[in-house]
Amino acid sequence: MEIVILGSGNVATHLAFALKKAEYHIKQVYSRDIDHAKHLADGIGAEPIDSLLYITTEADVYVIAVKDEAILEVASELRLRNKILLHTSGSTDMDVLKPFSSSYGVLYPLQTISKEVELDFSKVPLILEFSDQRTKEEILNMAFKLSPIIHEYNSEQRRCLHLAAVIACNFSNYLYAIAHDFLAEKKVDFDLLKPLISETAHKIQSHDPNAVQTGPAVRNDGNIIRKHLDLLKAHPNWQQVYELISEDIVRKYWKEDKQNETK
Amino acid sequence: MEIVILGSGNVATHLAFALKKAEYHIKQVYSRDIDHAKHLADGIGAEPIDSLLYITTEADVYVIAVKDEAILEVASELRLRNKILLHTSGSTDMDVLKPFSSSYGVLYPLQTISKEVELDFSKVPLILEFSDQRTKEEILNMAFKLSPIIHEYNSEQRRCLHLAAVIACNFSNYLYAIAHDFLAEKKVDFDLLKPLISETAHKIQSHDPNAVQTGPAVRNDGNIIRKHLDLLKAHPNWQQVYELISEDIVRKYWKEDKQNETK
């Protein structure tokens, strides 16, 4: 099975190396910027191209790993007939690929991918979707060589998963960044929070997060919440985030506790 | 060195067991509820008491590990003279203890402590504060037997650390809970997010969280943000949290990027 990678960003790069490691042959890497295409293509023994006019018609699978807004544009310049066409996005419907091939699907790697941080692809869940049974059979085989964690969901479910990932992970990282910047101002070592951050993420590996919620808001401790809001008064944005989330936690768990008490 | 524990909650329990493990003798455990006092005292070979009238004057260190709003009340009923009096709170000033002893301080274990989750106290940072050098010498010795991670900060810094811990950890857990509940509604497996949650918490062990921020908001991808807000329309609270945090991320990183470009 021969593969063409369209894109040269974080997902394209990590996926291309994972495919090479699984002993697939990647024929071409496309990027509008020939230097980017070369940089990735050289690492995996592929041909770099910077125009879709040069794309081979001899491969079996064409993977579009570009920004969401560019997927349609790239797909519309391909002439594939019955070759398999995949995109890798969490938030784009599979059906945007329908006009461009008879076999298409999605391979969405659910992970936070930065170029500067190494990634073990075998621990990345792959979320798949297929236009038909033949495509499914061909791609499933390939996907299992990349990761043992494989789930098939429809486009709506995949979009919800992506949204949940943004909330649970990108937003958590933003909270870490607030804590980091706030402590730097106060000359307190951010490293002290690291065991706590690890433990918080570790706990939910085996517990429902609702069952292990701690902190002043879940105890409805207005005294501490007021002190904290006061400490944040130089940062109205952070103060607003603190207030909104605390109110929501009080509403959520306080009500539930009262309901439990009256049961 | 003989110790009295005042309180029987999460912190009192984990701390008492850690002290026992370090071979300290705990003479008494106080709780207003004698069953709670007994439950903890039995586990560590101490005497349970439910009134401060029965408290021994023979111990060396008295640890008040009760809710913040009860610290003053408990302290005011003790007659200690020069015995060491400690509280364990992140958000209460050390000086509330001043009227009640000539030697006092704070031993604040920085960790998310739930009774149902086991805790390795040797990985918990201990944040300390002391009224004077003698108290410091006596308690530092004890603290190092509990954990190698020891920091001395003043009350203001400790309060800031507690606030940062609430933001980075309690609020992250709340985000995990939103993701959990949202995915349950959509019949998508929350377990799929677990590697991503681990990786997000793991990354910042060796990177500044600002350097590893990913997601649609840091790319200022209004298209995806609008789609996500639409998916959340049945949950106005979650929608509001999503919107506020995304706006803040765009403001923070987009501005910084532009500043970098013009440098």
pLDDT tens column, A218-257: 989 899 999 999 999 999 999 999 999 999 999 999 865 5
The ipTM estimated for the assembled molecules is 0.88
* pLDDT at B258 > cutoff 80: no
Contacts of A177 in chain B (CB under 8 A): 209-210, 213, 252
**Cα of A209 to nearest chain B Cα, Å:** 5
Of B153, B179, B205, the CB nearest to A167: B179
Mean pLDDT calculated for residue range B41-70? 95
* pLDDT at B116 > cutoff 70: no
Contacts of A205 in chain B (CB under 8 A): 194, 198
Contacts of A219 in chain B (CB under 8 A): 67
Asked if B204 lies within 8 A of A197 by C-beta distance, the reply is: yes
- Name residue, tokens 């019955």: A82
Task: Using alpha carbons, list the distances in angstroms from residue B221 to A156, A162, B115.
Answer: 19, 14, 42
Of A107-116, A169-178, B6-15, the one with minimum mean pLDDT is A107-116
* pLDDT at A113 > cutoff 70: no
**Cα of A165 to nearest chain B Cα, Å:** 6
Are B217 and B246 a contacting pair, CB within 8 Å? yes
Of A171, A188, A215, the CB nearest to B166: A215
Selection from B82, B86, B80, B95 nearest residue B11 by Cα: B86
Backbone angles phi, psi at B190, to 5 degrees: -60, -30
CA distance A214 to A200: 10
**Cα of B56 to nearest chain A Cα, Å:** 32
* pLDDT at A175 > cutoff 60: yes
Are A162 and A130 a contacting pair, CB within 8 Å? no
Asked if B117 lies within 8 A of A196 by C-beta distance, the reply is: no
Domains of chain B: 2-153 (3.40.50.720), 159-262 (1.10.1040.20)
Residue-wise pLDDT tens digits, B172-208: 999 999 999 999 999 999 999 999 999 999 999 999 9
CA distance A187 to A162: 36
Are B94 and B155 a contacting pair, CB within 8 Å? yes
pLDDT band at B113 (very low <50, low <70, confident <90, very high): low
DSSP string, B76-88: HT---TTSEEEE-
Asked if A214 lies within 8 A of B170 by C-beta distance, the reply is: yes
CA distance B28 to B48: 6
Asked if B168 lies within 8 A of A193 by C-beta distance, the reply is: yes
Residue-wise pLDDT tens digits, B145-182: 999 999 999 999 999 999 999 999 999 999 999 999 99
**Cα of B10 to nearest chain A Cα, Å:** 11
Question: What Rg do the C-alpha atoms of chain B give, in angstroms?
Answer: 23
pLDDT band at B114 (very low <50, low <70, confident <90, very high): low
pLDDT band at A117 (very low <50, low <70, confident <90, very high): low
Are B28 and B59 a contacting pair, CB within 8 Å? yes
Can you tell me whether residue A115 is helix, strand or coil?
coil
pLDDT at B65: 97
